[in-house]
Structure formats: structure tokens, C-alpha cells
Amino acid sequence: MIDRSRRLRTTPLLRGMVRETRMSPQSLILPLFLQEGEKICSPIPSLPGHFHYSPDEVSRGIEEALRHGVNKFLLFGLPASKDPEGSGAYAEDGIVQQGLRAIRQKYGKEVYLITDVCMCEYTSHGHCGILCGETVDNDKTLPYLSRTALSHVQAGADMVAPSDMMDGRVAAIRQLLDENGFENTPILSYAVKYASSFYGPFRDAAGSAPSFGDRKSYQMDCHNVREALKEAMQDTREGADLLMVKPALSYLDVIRAVKENTHLPLAAYSVSGEYAMIKAAAQAGLIDEYGVMCESAVSIFRAGADILITYYANELADAIMKGDIG
């Protein structure tokens, strides 16, 4: 027998040398949740191991991540009050803006800060834009999203990530940033965001569940792949610098399709439900948490992701450095 594939599997060093999928801590982004107030470092029950931080305490989460080699963060905000227009999203003293200034003052450019640009956490109705009756008005929402993105950048954000799924929001944000001298600030577009049942723990953590109806009129139908390519290409034309597919594990085929048909760096968001399922199954003694965490992350990169947003960022960085993956 001449062809023996097992020859290249005989030792850990050899397996590591011939790996087809490579990962690095530099490709990991950790979500962080900011909450208005002081002295807040409160565990999030639906996301074990994660916390709500007030701006004066967020350094705890930053320091922990830096110890693991993770230095990129995606920031979400929980305002003290909400209104129909989601004014806390773009307020100069909004919670994300406060957190940005606090982090930037302490860490300078040691960390890279990305902000989620949406309105669902800030509106009293929980939808991602301005309502007209019980329908989100796409075009009326765009100036609010653009204003939010600009306020984040002015407060210290390195990159903005619109997640609302309004048509035309990338172009609107790009125009306003450019007009204000931020033409070099990149946009990471949630280009392909599905109306998924995997978001449950996040909606609890962020207080962003809609008070009526659902988001299926603006987030994507889970049956569709060609539409994902349409969305990704449209956002590319509008000026997006990076694209995202969300969720990740149930949409590996979509990650692959977007990767093969676009040329921008591609992120995938391993969402709260994916994290919570692994945690719950491990707690029940049904799976090896560490092994499933590693295998799941590898599958996302193998599908074509260049960047992974994950609640396991710290643990995955350790696994990469140990050589268990990467």
C-alpha cells in the first residue's frame, strides 16, 4: 500500500504541521456588556462566566481577556432608561459612549474597540428602529443609526458594527462618518443576520427582546442562502470593510458561500444560544465542554471565517496557545 493517509497523523507535532485550518488569538473578539451605574460587576445568569459591567468596572473584563491574549472587544450597552426613539443609543453620555471613554483613557490603543450599532437595547418597544404603527420604518431609522455610529467613533470606537439589518444603513453610516473626518474608520457589517432562535440568552443579557411581534420582517429567513449573498454584496457596494454571518454553527454553509463569493474579511458570530447549549450540556455531564468548544470553533474557521466573535474567546485563546487547536 503506497498511499497511507495515517502517516501524517502519527504525532502531535506532525498533525500540527499539516493542519489545513489555522487559528490565532488575534482573530478572536470578545463581547462585553456595559450597564449604566457604578460599582457594577454582576454575573449574567443566561451567559455563565460573563458579567454586566459599569464603566468604572469594565476594566475587570478587559484585564481578564488581556491575560489570555485577547485584545479585541465588541461592546453592547444597557441604558438606565428607554424611549421610542432609542435616544440613549446616540446620546453623548450614553452607556456605550461612557464605556468607550473609560476604556480608552485607561488602555489607549492597547485594545481594539468595536461597537454594536443598533437600537433594540435602547427603544422602549425593543425593535431595531423607528416605528410607524407596529412596523419598523426603514428609511426613518437610517439617520438614527448613522448618528449612533458617529457618536461611538467620537467617543473612541475603532470600528462600528451595524446589526439592525435596515436596508441602506452601511451607505448612510459611511457617508456621515466621512463627512465628519472619520473616513478611515472601518465598518463591520452584520451583513447576513438571521431571525434566529439562538439569540435567547443575549436578549436576556441585553434586555433587548421586542415587546410585541418579532424581527422577521428585517432579519433574514433561515431557509435562504442566495439572499445572504445578495445582502453581503449590497453591503460591500455600500462601503462595508468587513462582513459578518450570524449565527455561526447552524449557518456554516452560509459562511462558506459568502467566503467563496466575496473578497472582504469575513467574521462569524458564535451567538449566545450556541454558547449556552454547550455550557448546559457540559453541566449535565453529556459532553466534554473543552473538546466541543474547540471543535465548534474549528468548524467555523474551516467553513471560511477569518474572525470569530465568541463568548469563549478567552478559553479559545488558551487552547490555541496550548496547541490543542490553531
Name the residues annotated as catalytic: 193, 246
End-to-end CA distance of the chain: 31
Tally Cβ neighbours within 10 Å of residue 311: 26
Residue 104 contacts residue 156 (beta carbons within 8 Å): yes
Angle, vertex CA 292, rays to CA 287 and CA 294, nearest 5: 155
- Integer CA distances (angstroms), 103 to 34, 49, 52, 53, 210, in order: 11, 21, 15, 12, 30
Q: How far apart are CA 75 and CA 53, in angstroms?
A: 11
Residue 179 is inside which H or E element, if any?
helix 169-179
| Contact between residue 82 and residue 123 where contact means Cβ atoms under 8 Å apart | yes
The string of DSSP letters for 272-292 reads: HHHHHHHHHHHHTTSS-HHHH
> In sequence order, which ranges of 2-47 are alpha helices (DSSP H)?
12-17
In whole angstroms, what is the distance from residue 101 CA to residue 82 CA? 22
- The three-state secondary structure class of 37 is coil
